[in-house]
Structures are given as C-alpha cells and as structure tokens.
Amino acid sequence: MSYQDEEEQVGSFPKDFGYGDFEHESDGNRTSDDKPRILLMGLRRSGKSSIQKVVFHKMSPNETLFLESTNKIVKDDINNNSFVQFQIWDFPGQIDFFDPTFDSDMIFGGCGALVFVIDAQDDYVEALTKLNQTVTKAHKVNPRIKFEVFIHKVDGVSDDFKMESQRDIHSRATDDLIDAGLEGVHLNFHLTSIYDHSIFEAFSKVVQKLIPQLAALENLLNLFIHNSGIEKAFLFDVVSKIYIATDATPVDMQSYELCCDMIDVVIDLSCIYGSRDNPDVPAFDNQSSSIIKMNNSTVLYLREVNKFLALVCIIREESFSRQGVIDYNFLCFREAITQVFELRFKHQKLEAIEQDSDTMEDLRDFGRGDVISSMKRFQD
C-alpha cells in the first residue's frame, strides 16, 4: 500500500454554516502545504476518524459506529479564520514506518503536532510499542513536533479506571522513551471521549500550540475580564467548539461545557428564526449575541467577534449590572482582535516575498504599537 499523497476526503457541513475563508482575508498566498499539520495516528479502530468527524464535521457520536476503518491517509483542510488554519492527516492504523514508500521527511517535516490515539478499553501494550516507534521516528525528522497522547474511549468507565489507565500509560510511555535515549521528549496526555466535551477540550489545547499569537490573545482576555468583572472568558471557534484562547484562570470542565451548550443554543435558534427570509445568510453573523441568566446567580454572555469566532463569558449577576462597561470593553477587545488579524495578514504577505525572521519575532512578542492603544481603552 502506498502512503504517498492520496485524494483528499473531506466531510461537509450544512451549506450555510461551515468552514471557509475569513471575510477579512482570503489568505490566498498560503497554500495547504504551508499550513501546519496535525497528524492523527494510532492502531486500527482506536477512534482516530471518529474524533476528526465529531470535532470538525459535526457528526453525531452515535453515527461514528458506522464509519469504515481508514485504509489510506485522509487529509482534511481546516481554514476557518486567521488563527485556526491547519491540516489534519488521518493515518491508517496499519501504517509501516519501514515501508520504502513511507516518506518520513515529507510526513513529519511540516508537522506541528502529532496526536497518538490509544484505546483505553483495549490492551494497549501494542499501542505503546507503536507510540514509541512513532515518536522516535518523528522526533528524528522534526524535533519541534508537539506530541499529544489521547487516552481515548474513557466514557462509561469509573474515575478510578481513568486515573489508573492514565498513570500506567504515562509511566510506560515515559520509560520507553528514556530507554530509547529520548529523555528530552515531552508527551502530553489527555483523557478523551467523543460522547462528552473532553475531546473538544483536548483538541483545543492541541490547536492552541499552533497559534503564534496565543500569548497576545490571552493577554487581551486577561485585560478584558479584569476590567469588566468577568469570572471566565473563552474565545471559541464556533464551528468546532474548540476554544483557541482563554484567560489565565483555570479551566473548569463544567464551565467549558456550559459555554459549548450556549453556542449550540445560539446557532440552533439563529438557524430557526434568524435566516427565515434568506436561507443563504449564515446563522452566525455580526448581529449574533446572547445573554442567558442562570438560576445560580450567573450570567452567560456571548458576542460575535468575527465570522467564525465568538467570545463567551461567565459573569456573576451582581457584576452584570455594569453591562454598559462590559459592552464597551468588548468593542475594544474586538478592535484589538481585528488588529491582530491585520498584523497576521501583513506578516503573511511579507513572508510570501521574503523570509523575515525579525517580523516573525515581533509577531510572537505582540504587545506593542496600535494594539496597545486598543488595550489601554478598556474601562474599569
């Protein structure tokens, strides 16, 4: 079996709501080959394709039971906004690194992150052997790859089983790397299931590592919540419901699930009532916003940032009495985000002309210039 480039197989969203070019930029100078890649690897039937379909193609978890086993490399191009642009390559479980047709330099050379999926409910000895082979080969070609291990299919098992499985897999995988002389390679472990929000949270952390402007986004969110009396804020990719940035306070799984559910409510109601006259108009647009008051003195606050990004906040009811300040600070936040987009766009145009390392460093250390003026406008 050849592992060279195969025909791309990409699922589809509803016509009026899915991935596409961000309205501010077509990103025409950036080809698919230039985008960072996330590789999905693991043994057969470990759940790789199910993860991809559920997270990025809105497939119901129950429908994944009918997916056929992957027998060739499946490429999926994710291009929904300036921050989340990458490819996902889903690899067949029976892939052989020693096959002469397997081009390691091509596969791992442009890879940003490698996600290895392990079925926690199966005997994972063979999976750990495969993980060690994969990490060894990939690190040799590209030492900058981020390695993520999804301990998958943990739905329906006890918390004790989850913790014990994670501890055992972590210990064995780490020992195998030390034996292979790769003490410096760091593996990140995540407990995941497609039947809850854990898979979305895990993929959020993977995608964030591919965003050079992550520190800038987090700083903006920290300023926003500090000056607005907000408990927690997430910057969501609306289509996939992964969050591309959040503030410095710890992420509580229950809060994250609540924010995801709010996005579902807004999209569903918008699809029913928001586009009655023109079905071709996207359900999520610059008029999208929502306020939901909970019965525990908490308010959920959602505002559209751009075509595919939404800010979702959790606010105490007493703090929401200053809604005017929150609304004003959000406008400042959105303006700053727009400037980050513009800076990214300008950089990509420069990069297409020449490789300018100083510009890239300025982009990563973002926090000066015009955007600072927007950040200073946040009101207490």
One domain for residues 205 and 258: no
Would residue 374 count as lying in a domain?
A: no
| Domain CATH code at residue 136 | 3.40.50.300
User: Is pLDDT above 60 for 369?
Assistant: no
- Residue pair 9/53 in contact (Cβ under 8 Å)? The answer is no
Please check the confidence at residue 372 and state whether its pLDDT lies above 60. Answer: no
- We report the CATH number of the domain holding residue 309 as 3.30.450.190
Residue 6 pLDDT: 41
> Is the pLDDT reported for residue 346 higher than 70?
yes
Considering only residues 26 and 136, tell me which one the structure prediction assigns the higher pLDDT: 136
Region 159-176 average pLDDT: 94
Number of residues that make up the chain: 380
| Tokens, residue 135 | 């990490």
Containing structural domain, residue 251: 213-342
**pLDDT tens track for 221-252:** 999 999 999 999 999 988 888 999 999 999 99
pLDDT at 218: 94
The reply to whether 230 and 282 lie within a common domain is: yes
Q: Are residues 170 and 244 in the same domain?
A: no
Is the pLDDT reported for residue 131 higher than 90? yes
Residues 196 and 63 in one domain: yes
Token duo for residue 331 = 């406008």
Distance CA 315, CA 326 (A): 10
Are 202 and 155 part of one and the same domain?
yes
User: In total, how many domains does the chain have?
Assistant: 2
**Structure confidence by residue, pLDDT tens digits, 272-328:** 776 556 655 566 677 778 999 999 999 999 999 988 889 999 999 999 998 999 999
Q: Does 79 have pLDDT greater than 70?
A: yes
| Percent of the chain with pLDDT strictly greater than 90 | 48
Residue 345, burial from CB neighbour count under 10 angstroms (0-12, 13-18, 19+): middle
Task: Tell me how far apart the alpha carbons of residues 128 and 42 are, in angstroms, rounded to a whole number.
Answer: 9
Element (H, E) at 46: none
pTM above 0.95, yes or no: no
- Across 55-59, 82-86, 236-240, 277-281, least confident range: 277-281
- Token digits for 367? 């926090």
Residue 50 placed within a domain: yes
